[in-house]
Amino acid sequence: TRLNSRRMDDRELCLIYVAFKLTTYDKYQPPMYNFLDIGMEEIGKIDDARRISLKNEFIEGLKTVEILLGENAFAKGVFEVTSKRQKVNKAIFECLITCICNLTPDQRTVLIARKTTFVDGYKEVLIDKSFIDSITLHTSDAKSINARFKLVISLLDKVLQ
């Protein structure tokens, strides 16, 4: 998936992940830039061991998502056949990576073993009107964030049952 490093999109996505790990999605209050500022403050309060843990969870989460969905995992058109790398949708990224990283290593292993079930369910999520709206309209609105997180969490719960 494409990211513009010059615009620091990669760093912003890392910060979004950490912010949602340290302050859960249901406690999110807009605007997003304030939420990210709070996330930066929280990073300053945690010890090195927790920072390393967040980094390792992030790396394992990225690996899991790539196994499940491939290199365009965070794109709206993840299942479209194309030879080009697609643009990262930040709303999908924040939700999917945070939810996957909230799983235990054992849960991620089960999820990978049930990849087909997950992919089939994720295809359904991607065509759900409330999910589409949450990743395209008012993406940093608390209602949109709650909607997309709840849909992905529900999918993961179903797959892991």
CA–CA gap between residue 57 and residue 97 (Å, rounded): 10
> Could you read off the pLDDT of 57-99 as tens digits, one per residue?
999 999 999 999 998 999 988 888 766 778 899 999 999 999 9
Pull the structure tokens for residue 157: 């719960």
- Is 70 strand, coil or helix? coil
Q: Are 52 and 126 in contact (CB under 8 A)?
A: no
Tell me the C-alpha distance between 134 and 160, whole Å. Answer: 24
Q: Encode pLDDT of 21-58 as tens digits.
A: 999 999 999 999 999 999 999 999 999 999 999 999 99
What's this model's pTM, rounded to 2 decimal places? 0.90
Task: Please give the Cα distance from 99 to 108 (Å, whole number).
Answer: 11
As a whole number of angstroms, the distance between CA 35 and CA 22 comes to 11
